[in-house]
Amino acid sequence: MNKLFVISGSSGVGKGTVIKQLLKTNNNIKLSISTTTRNPREGEINGVHYFFTTRDDFMKAVNQDEFIEWAEFSGNCYGTKKDFVENTLKNGQNVLLEIDTQGALQIKEKMPETILIFIAPPSMEELKKRLIGRGTESEEAIQKRLSCVEKEQENSKKYDYIVINDTVENAVLKLEEIFRKENNE
Ligand code: 5GP
């Protein structure tokens, strides 16, 4: 029951929606809240979606070794606090990180027992459609995020599981199956 799971996926693939749905019905999975230097999007709450911080404070935390992993993605820094992960695992609960592929591979190197899951879109066209359709990013930010996709797909080859997000229901079912299998249930 106390395993570390990582979910990654390109911007717009719908991982946020899938994870939200997964957590609704699986209360043995605790999601880590990341720290970021990105500005909050409309509706995002500090301490709920992210801990929003300045680059100075972020780098201070890096120097004090507070992050289990951190990475720069599309011009902003994102990191996972060590404390939360270690304490939750000690409490006998599964921890879920929703982080980019660079951070995921850092963790796998340090903790090889970590289970990496990559959420893939049904097609590249669909990914573009979803990213543009959600309307949260400027044209420039969209292009920047799309330019990461190739590298993300390359990195995903090192993942333990690939889940195609064709529909949210299907993706959640597949994730539940992976969690059950890895927890020997
Ligand atoms: P967004 O700005 O869309 O919320 O997130 C951008 C990317 O940063 C996504 O791929 C997301 O998974 C990743 N991300 C979020 N939190 C973390 C973190 O703590 N560490 C790393 N390495 N990536 C993160």
For residue 44, the domain's CATH number is 3.40.50.300
Two tokens, residue 159: 């993942």
- The pTM (predicted TM-score) of the whole model is 0.96
Domain count, the chain: 1
Which residue from 31, 36, 73 has its CB within 8 A of the most atoms of ligand 1, so it is best to mutate?
73
Question: How deeply is 14 buried, as exposed, middle or buried, from its count of CB atoms within 10 A (0-12, 13-18, 19+)?
Answer: buried
Amino acid letter at 111?
M
The answer to whether 83 touches 37, Cβ cutoff 8 Å, is: no
pLDDT value for 1: 65
> What is d(CA 115, CA 96) in angstroms, rounded to the nearest whole number?
10
Q: Ligand 1 in contact with 101 (CB < 6 A)?
A: no
pLDDT at residue 134 tops 90: no
Residue 84 sits in which domain range? 4-182
pLDDT-above-90 percentage for the chain: 95
pLDDT value for 46: 98
Percentage helix, strand, coil for the chain under 3-state DSSP, each rounded to 5: 45, 25, 30
In this structure, the strands spanning 76-81 and 67-73 are antiparallel
Q: Ligand 1 in contact with 53 (CB < 6 A)?
A: no
pLDDT digits (tens, 9 = 90+) for 62-93: 999 999 999 999 999 999 999 999 999 999 99
Q: Ligand 1 in contact with 71 (CB < 6 A)?
A: yes
> What are the C-alpha distances in Å from 22 to residues 35, 53, 177?
22, 28, 11
Tell the residue number behind the tokens 């993605």, with chain if given.
73
